[in-house]
Structure 1
Amino acid sequence: MDVLDWFARWYAAQCDGDWEHGFGPSISTIDNPGWSLKIDLVGTDCDGRTLDRITHNYEHENDWWTCWTEGNVFRGAGGPLHLRSLLEAFREWATGTP
């Protein structure tokens, strides 16, 4: 399944009438340039899980991404072509499968 379809289904599965009003994912841009991904884990099937920082740096200065958890939030940041990498890293971490 495409990672964007998987992410939409994961989000829908977390919505319970309350969670989506105070928590949830957000995708925004950063000025490096690139992407920022923040996913509140409270009340999800990933609640309380941790991820030590993983970082991938490639040859070009905008060709990088990193993910970690902090304060029960999954966080990711990456260059302008790595939004998919961030979502794939979340899927792999959340499901435990590559």
Structure 2
Amino acid sequence: MSEILSWISQWMTSNCNGSWEHMYGVKIGTLDNPGWYVTIDLTDTELESLEMETDVIENTEDDWYYYKVKDKKYFGAGDLNKLEFLLYAFKDLVEKHKA
């Protein structure tokens, strides 16, 4: 997983401009069902105008995820094995929408 963490760190660094990082950033936390969530602020980034949403993919009670971009935020959630997947899904969005 270190590759995706390095990529997210580089993405953060590329958006830090002396003010962006004081209001925006990346949040990773846990859900009580249990699972992970990832929220990434997109204001003043190349994705700030993107809006999209996936359907909830629920293979089993312990194998599920979804993600969306709405209101200038990426939000992803999934089971306890989906943290890396959610970060890679964000990376794919960035790479598909590079200016």
Q: Normalized against structure 1, the TM-score is what?
A: 0.88
What CA distance in whole angstroms lies between the structure 1 residues aligned with 2:27 and 2:53?
A: 20
What CA distance in whole angstroms lies between the structure 2 residues aligned with 1:21 and 1:70?
A: 21
Specify the code of the residue in structure 1 equivalent to 2:56: T
Q: 1:87 to 1:25 in 2, by over 3 A?
A: same
Deviates more, 1:48-57 or 1:30-39: 48-57
Gaps of 5+ in 2: none
Identify the residue that residue 4 of structure 1 maps to in structure 2: 5
Identify the residue that residue 69 of structure 2 maps to in structure 1: 69
Classify the secondary structure of the residue corresponding to 1:2.
Answer: helix
Residue pair 2:51, 2:71 contacting (<8 A) in 1 also: no
What CA distance in whole angstroms lies between the structure 2 residues aligned with 1:55 and 1:90?
A: 16
Classify the secondary structure of the residue corresponding to 2:6.
Answer: helix
Identical-pair percentage:
32
Residue pair 1:54, 1:68 contacting (<8 A) in 2 also: no
Deviations 1:62-84 (A, max 9, x none): 21110001211110000011000
Identify the residue that residue 95 of structure 1 maps to in structure 2: 95
Q: Normalized against structure 2, the TM-score is what?
A: 0.88
Specify the code of the residue in structure 2 equivalent to 1:90: F
Identify the residue that residue 46 of structure 1 maps to in structure 2: 47
Identify the residue that residue 86 of structure 1 maps to in structure 2: 86
Q: Give structure 1 regions of 4+ aligned residues with deviation exceeding 2 angstroms.
A: 52-58
Gaps of 5+ in 1: none
What CA distance in whole angstroms lies between the structure 1 residues aligned with 2:26 and 2:4?
A: 15
RMSD over aligned CA atoms reads: 1.7
